[in-house]
């Protein structure tokens, strides 16, 4: 039963979406019905996107090792970026500054620093990987 949903879950969701849109046009349904139907499909897609990989990962726990290493490395990069960020908020004449708290400023600074680190790693990998492959052959 689970393999059936793994193979055909996308097709089932798409067929339900097509049926809702077709019912909207054929039966002249009001737009809120289509809106609620799209919300239901979005919720079902999110639920299936979370549950089905978890179920397959529970069946094969060795598969979880690589994503856990990736999540741990992203968390480490964020912690490095967060440690270098400060909670300074630039005061200006706008009212937007009064809504920004210092913790939120530190968190957003950490996210920006982590983004800069990841962009730097990707740019370095663009130049380093061809050189490594050159010596590998």
Domain ranges of the chain: 2-59, 64-136
**pLDDT value for 95:** 56
- Tens of pLDDT, residues 47-64: 877 787 777 778 888 877
Q: How sure is the predictor about 11, in pLDDT bands with cuts at 50, 70 and 90?
A: confident
- Give the position of tokens 């393999």: 3
Contact partners, residue 68, CB within 8 Å, separation at least 6: none
CA distance 59 to 2: 11
User: Two tokens at 2?
Assistant: 């689970």
**CB-based contact 52:9 (threshold 8 Å):** yes
Closest CA to 20 of 42, 1, 4: 42
User: Two tokens at 64?
Assistant: 């979880």
CA distance 46 to 61: 22
Output the pTM of the full model: 0.55
- Tens of pLDDT, residues 73-88: 999 999 999 898 887 7
């Amino acid at each position: 039963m689970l393999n059936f949903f793994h193979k055909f879950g996308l097709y089932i969701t798409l067929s339900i979406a097509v049926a809702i849109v077709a019912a909207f046009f054929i039966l002249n349904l009001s737009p809120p019905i289509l809106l609620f139907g799209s919300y239901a499909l979005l919720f079902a897609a999110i639920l299936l996107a979370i549950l089905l990989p978890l179920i397959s990962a529970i069946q094969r726990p060795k598969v979880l090792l690589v994503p856990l290493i990736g999540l741990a490395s992203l968390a480490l990069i964020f912690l490095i970026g967060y440690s270098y960020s400060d909670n300074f908020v630039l005061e200006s004449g706008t009212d937007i500054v009064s809504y920004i708290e210092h913790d939120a400023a530190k968190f957003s600074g950490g996210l920006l620093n982590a983004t800069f680190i990841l962009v730097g790693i990707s740019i370095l990998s663009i130049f380093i990987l061809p050189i490594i492959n050159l010596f590998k052959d």
